[in-house]
Structure 1
Amino acid sequence: MAFFKNQFSNVVEWEEFRDDMIFWKWSNREIKKGSKLIIRSGQDAIFVNNGKIEGIFQEDGEYNIDSEIIPFLSTLKGFKFGFNSGMRVEVLFVNTKEFTVKWGTQNPILIPAPQLPGGMPIRANGTFNFKVNDYVRLIDKIAGMKDSYLVDDIKIRITSVLDQLLMKWISKEGKNMFNLQANAYEIAKGIREDLDMEVMDNGMTITGFQVMSFNYPQEIQDMITKTASHEMIGNLQKYQQVSMTDAMASGKSHGGGTASDMAGMMMGMNIANEMMKNMNANQNQASGGGNSNAPQGGSKPNFCPNCGAKNEGANFCSNCGQKLG
């Protein structure tokens, strides 16, 4: 029975393909005469013998191993299939696509800040991209010891050093702790370069790293939002007035009954009147302020409008008799 079994051809292909699998190894089986190799789109097939690469095949399609593959293998060109024999060669299938992985800090990162002795607790999230680019290193460091390798394995490797890299690049050159999003591109660029060095020895490269957002503690975010709203108003002297008005409008300022509600209404009206007075005063200043010699509230003019004689507060001009009051 074994005699006939050894003559049966087999198919060498990626049997357990998954989108999140970086490589998969076809091993511990004989390649027999008449066997076929199937390479699908987005895959490379690497023939390995005793840890050494014999040949790399990148074009997708179906191949006869003994006539189309063996003649091109580096040290196995002289191999001849015997009638009942086979050849033990490992075939490593590699996913050639660029992988995109989401990341996020599991715990807040304490970024040193002069204003906060314990540091500023910040969370961040985004994505990074990577792909295999060096088969020799991949086999030497990983594939020589593993039968498969998943994207999650790389994600664990990346996230284990990501907190330290975020601290490094956020703190570098005194970045504004309250406006990190403005420096997100520069921070991400520095982290990508460091991560590329981290995975280079494993035969991979980081092709992209993005920071989608930085998240502050809620009380810090509330402070930033309120400060921004006051800046938009343009008059920081009205901080208390605006805060009181916001509280009343949102219902967060509750009274103890009709009397307190009326007091609140009166306070709101007073604030509104005060703001209108200030607006009118600003408009008058912008328009030039008016004639300083004009009568103010019934007072007598300093000079007679008829003859120009100086007036000392009399109702009639002492020079021409013009009525002044």
Structure 2
Amino acid sequence: MGFFRNQFADVVEWEEFREDMIFWKWDSREIKKGSRLVIRPGQDAVFINNGKIEGIFEDEGTFNVESDIIPFLSTLKGFKFGFNSGMRVEVLFVNTKEFTVRWGTQNPVLIQTPQLPGGMPIRANGTFQFKVKDYVTLIDKIAGVKKSYLVEDVKLRITSVLDQLLMKWISREGKDMFNLQGNAYEIARGIREDLDMEMLGYGITITGFQVMSFNYPQEIQDMITKTASHEMIGNLQKYQQVSLTDGMASGKMQGGGAASDMAGMMMGMNMAQDMLKHMNPDRQQPSSSPEKAPSSAEESAQGGKTSSSGEPAAKPNFCPNCGAKNEGGNFCPNCGHKLS
């Protein structure tokens, strides 16, 4: 008797397991007396009879179908195996893990904006996560007609509605059309909620949705970069100076050596003027009001122009204009002020 039991024994297990497979159906065979059910980590086994769930088994391990499984089935708990007959049921193995999928727009999504009447073409990419939630709905809508279901099948369903959801939530949450990344969290949250409602109709829940980046057309991106450069520099004159310097350094300045030399000379003069301003920040411009004649004491202190005898006085030791030390010259060596 034991010989025949071993001969007819079957092992009910997920035979075609793949990491990207959401479920796989064991069917078209009878479960014999003495059969064993094998449930591996991350799997659930769902027994189905005539399209209805008989029982769901979540614990991993190896179980005897007759003693460990049948007593817990809803309508088949009293089933008795015959010598040459078995129990014909379907067993759906479900992958219970959370799947992470990368997504990206295949074509640009046209977002209506006042700046561009035809709409702004935007591409986006990111990731989303999902897992099986409702076995009854999954069997009714998908597993009833399919033997297996892959992550790629879910991705196709998601991407078929993703363009419309991007248009909806970018228009609603994209307060600054040229800085969508700043509103990426709100946009992604709205898309996740809508996708979850969509996929619950298939027994699947969307547990997360992320937008990694938004991509503009190259012309728009160049304009954004140029505008950011202006804002960072904050002054058009400085921006022109930087552009001039970049052009000279890269050798892209056209017009020959004379043009480059003239531009370099002008830039050098401007830089020299800026340096003098920083070196003498307290220097005052000459006043248009008449100056008070210096007293004899002041002339003496400054090395006045004439002495009491009427003879030419010695040159002042320090320039009355900028205070630089004089070495006996007629003009200040620092500012060029006439000293005699």
Fold-level similarity (TM above 0.5): yes
Measure the CA separation in 2 of the matches of 1:6 and 1:29. Answer: 17
**How far is 1:284 from its partner?**
8.2
Q: Which residue of 1 aligns with 2:259?
A: 263
Question: Sequence identity of aligned pairs in percent?
Answer: 73
What's the counterpart of residue 152 of structure 2? 152
What stretches of structure 1 of length at least 5 have no aligned partner? 308-314
> Residue 216 of structure 1 corresponds to which residue in structure 2?
216
Partner residue, 2:203:
203
Cα distance in structure 2, aligned partners of 1:280 and 1:231:
28
Pairing partner for 2:270 from 263, 269, 274:
274
Please show how residues 2-13 of structure 1 align to structure 2 within 5 Å. 8-13=8-13
Mapping for residues 244-255 of structure 1, pairs under 5 Å? 244-255=244-255
- Residue in 2 aligned with 1:303? 292
Aligned pairs, number: 302
Per-residue CA deviation, residues 254-275 of structure 1 (Å, 9 max, x unaligned), is 44xxxx1231132133134335
**Post-superposition offset of 1:16:** 0.4
Alpha-carbon spacing, 1:267–1:42, altered in 2? closer, same or farther (3 Å): same
1:173-224: CA deviation from partner (whole Å, max 9, x where unpaired): 5521111111111111111111111101111111111111111112221222
State the SS of the aligned residue for 1:62.
strand
How far apart in 2 are the matches of 1:173 and 1:81?
Answer: 62
- The whole-number CA distance in structure 1 between the counterparts of 2:162 and 2:147 is 27
| 1:280 to partner: Cα distance | 5.6
Give the structure-2-normalised TM-score: 0.80
Measured at CA, do residues 268 and 220 of structure 1 come closer, stay the same or move farther in structure 2, by a change above 3 Å? farther
Taking structure 1 as the reference length, what is the TM-score of the superposition? 0.84
Residues 1-325 of structure 1 aligned to structure 2 (within 5 Å): 8-255=8-255, 260-275=256-271, 277=273, 281=277, 283=278, 287=281, 289-291=282-284, 295=286, 302-306=291-295
Aligned residues: CA RMSD: 2.9
CA gap of 1:290–1:268, structure 2 versus 1, over 3 A, is closer
Comparing both chains, which one has the higher relative contact order based on Cα–Cα distances under 8 Å and sequence gaps of 6 or more? 1
Q: 1:265, 1:94 → 2: CA distance?
A: 76
Question: 2-side partners of 1:163 and 1:284: how far apart?
Answer: 61
Instruction: State the alpha-carbon separation in 2 of the partners of residues 273 and 191 from structure 1.
Output: 58
Question: For residues 32-78 of structure 1, what are the alpha-carbon distances to aligned partners after superposition, in whole Å with 9 as ceiling and x for unaligned?
Answer: 10001000000000000111110000011000101110011111111
Structure 1 counterpart SS, 2:78: coil
Unpaired segments ≥5 residues, structure 2: 297-303, 314-319, 321-338
CA drift of 1:253 comes to 2.9
How far has the Cα of 1:23 moved from its partner? Answer: 0.4
Counterpart of 2:193 in 1: which secondary structure? helix
* 1:201 to 1:305, Cα distance in 2 relative to 1, 3 A: farther
Amino acid at match of 2:292: F
Q: 1:173 to 1:151 in 2, by over 3 A?
A: closer
